[in-house]
Amino acid sequence: MTENDILKCFGKEFQQSVLNFNIEHLVPENIQKIVENALAQEYLDYMMVKSKMTKSSAKTYVSMIAMIPKRMESSTHEIVDSPFDSPELVTDGQSMTHISSVLSNYYADLKQNHSKLFDLNKTISSMKKFTEFMNWKDNKESLEEDFVPSFDTRLSLKDRQIIYFGAPGTGKSYFLNKEKEELFAKENIERVTFHPNMTYGQFVGVFKPFPDGNNITYRYTPGPLTQQLVKALLHPDSAYLLIIEELNRANVAFVFGEIFQLLDRDINFESEYPIHIGQDIQYYFDNYVYNQPQLQSYVSNMKEKISEKSGLVLPANLFIWATMNSSDQGITPMDTAFKRRWNQQYFGVDQSYNRNDFDKYSKIKVSKSSIDGHDGLISWNDLRQFINSQLTLLNVPEDKLLGPYFLSKNVLSSNENILTKAFMNKVLMYLFDDAARQHRSKLFELKQMRFSELLDSFEAKGIKVFKNFDSNDSELTTLVQPI
């Protein structure tokens, strides 16, 4: 291959660069067309902000990525897509490593024949920058690009931290969901469910290993709390909500860590006692949040609040609402110091019950349970209230009783067969293994206290499997509709 042949491989722009040996001249004339690609434009903005490049220099780096397909075809006749059109070339480290290796070897060969040829290493350098950009882009964790302020005036006096608790099926999550849909913009809501293995890193954030070609790099991955906190600090005129389901199923002291101190709010609904920002979170702020081009108009809000408070705080526009069933087995008790930092709202066992709604639902099939001995149907709510009355007589606490929606609306709205099966497998199991575990012989009419016998007896005898179903205090039999 002659020198002229080599120059032809790279086109007019490359030939000009050989003559002038000036990086700025490598920007192709059709750069505007290139940056019309959304990813290319984002890369251009990133280089100007993160690397503090001039627009001309940043365009050069963009053009280097755009010319990769031509250079690969010239060197090995391989056909590859532009990373702007196929970002998976970057996320798949092997592909990017292969391209880099090919171009590096090609440059080495060319350099031996013509020492003044343009330094292909510039392309490889831009590829490294582009890989860094894509990693940064993956770490944005959905921080919004198009911001629309949203703060419902009704939120001004709402609790910033509240726990909804009560018996299972009392409508805690339903009420919370209704509130959040009415008061918060959909994109401003984050939900997390606690579990026994929940960690501080999952909730607040942690460094995690990520593959980078043949190497392993570490990136800070923010948890749902940090994501919502950052958004609230950036946009003080918008309200943000973090929903925690099953709050008491995790070790909350372990999961919250030092954030525990921020739960104390002052009269203005801000954290009364700021905390020092750890190196891990500060790294995330400096390298990802503060360097996002689309957030430059809002970063000052966050920095000013942190500077004003001399540390990290929960701002007044960040709401944390939680639900919990205090009756759940295997839960980790919450200490008084944690609970007193939350307002609490109790949901009574019949609070969400509405006769008109429940009259529309399907009924449970009960064999030979009516007065005349025929099969029949009984309302879930009538049977639920009878069971609750029996549990109360046995001194079972209210948070162990059955709420109206212990069986979900989807189940209640289904047919009799599905509803009956759900009652047997969910309600009877809950009573046998949990709520009435210590009172089985007083609640059920069974020869042997086995769950399998309970299921068989219910199928054979219907409501007669319960003791006191026909007592003077119970009208259960009169509520059965013969089939």
The predicted model gives 62-73 an average pLDDT of 78
User: Residue 242's pLDDT band (boundaries 50, 70, 90)?
Assistant: very high
Phi, psi of 163, rounded to the nearest 5 degrees: -115, 125
CB hemisphere CA count around 376 (13 angstroms): 22
pTM of the model: 0.65
**Res 409: pLDDT:** 87
Name beta bridge partners: 377.
365, 481
Identify the band that residue 139 occupies on the pLDDT scale cut at 50, 70 and 90: low
Of 192, 239, 238, 47, nearest to 130 by C-alpha is 47
For range 238-265, the mean pLDDT = 93
Which range, of 21-35, 262-276, 339-353, averages the lowest pLDDT? Answer: 21-35
H helices present in 77-215, as ranges:
88-91, 93-113, 121-138, 172-183, 200-203
Asked which of 161-165, 366-370, 415-419 is least confident by mean pLDDT, the reply is 366-370
Residues 422, 407 contacting (CB under 8 angstroms): yes
Confidence (pLDDT) at 332: 64
Is the pLDDT at 438 greater than 60? The verdict is: yes
- Check whether 421 has a pLDDT greater than 70: yes
- The yes-or-no verdict on residue 202 having pLDDT over 90 is yes
pLDDT at 46 over 70: yes
Q: What is the DSSP string of 324-370?
A: E-TT-TTPPPPPHHHHTTSEEEEE-TTTT--HHHHTTS-EEEETT-S
pLDDT at position 34, please? Answer: 61
**Chain segment 70-100, per-residue pLDDT in tens:** 777 776 777 777 777 766 655 555 566 677 6
pLDDT at 153 over 50: yes
Token reading at 433: 């293994």
For residue 111, what is the DSSP state?
H
Q: Which amino acid is at 429?
A: M
Average pLDDT, the chain: 80
pLDDT higher than threshold 60 for residue 11: no
Name the one residue in this structure whose structure tokens are 């053009």.
63
Task: Give the Cα-Cα-Cα angle 195, 165, 339 (nearest 5 degrees).
Answer: 75
Sign of CA dihedral 434, 436, 440, 444: negative
Mean pLDDT computed over 316-343? 82
Tens digits of residue pLDDT in 348-376: 888 777 777 788 889 999 886 655 667 88
What are 422's two structure tokens?
């759900």
Buried b (16+ CB within 10 A) or exposed e, 332-354: bebeeebeeebeeeebebbebbe
Which pLDDT score is estimated for 373?
67
The three-class DSSP label of residue 4 is helix
In the chain, the percentage of residues whose pLDDT exceeds 70 is 76
Q: What is the pLDDT of residues 47-57, one digit of tens each?
A: 776 666 777 78
pLDDT at position 26: 42
CA distance 127 to 121: 10
pLDDT band at 313 (very low <50, low <70, confident <90, very high): very high
Say if strands 205-212 and 215-222 run parallel, antiparallel, or are unpaired: antiparallel
